[in-house]
Amino acid sequence: MSDATAPWLIVGLGNPGPEYAANRHNVGFMVADLLAERIGGKFKRAQKAQAQVVEGRVGPPGPLSRRVVLVKPMSYMNLSGGPVTALRDFYKVPVDHVVAVHDELDIDYGTLRLKLGGGDNGHNGLKSITKSLGADYHRVRFGIGRPPGRMQVADFVLKDFSSTERKELAYLVDRSADAVECLLAEGLERAQSAYNS
């Protein structure tokens, strides 16, 4: 299968279960849910991996439309690499057609950054995927900022967004979904110039 016809694997990172649903660490799931809604799909349990998937197309009809598999790993964040690799193999997706959507501590809340490759910055989901796939996949990094005061990072990412943050959250999740669609349709440079803030 050539790169042009290969599907894209869009991986929203998060933890399964209602107690984690609104956590900062689950913003990847929020973006994946919105993309699924946009393509009219419902997440179903994957046959080949510990994950939920939706298959469909994103983008405008015609040559800019892209075949996608939206993925929410159900393995908990620090084991995300297993399900992602199983689905990458099953759908025969080149590594540069994998996009991880995740929370990012070193970027201010409300800021979005797209990139290809790079380190994991201590993010356990990325660490697990990189260990399985190598680092050459795309990332859509949703800034959540650093924890206040002496709060531990682990506690901060597993807390829900604050009431102030929630006022902008729907808009920011929507913008992140737009950025994913732009990345697929128009490439990384165009998406970076439109969405990196």
Q: Active-site positions?
A: 25
Q: How many residues does the chain have?
A: 197
Relative orientation angle of helices 27-38 and 163-186, to the nearest 10 degrees: 60
Cβ proximity of 12 and 71 under 8 Å: yes
Cβ proximity of 146 and 27 under 8 Å: no
Q: How far apart are CA 9 and CA 69, in angstroms?
A: 5
Q: How far apart are CA 126 and CA 134, in angstroms?
A: 10
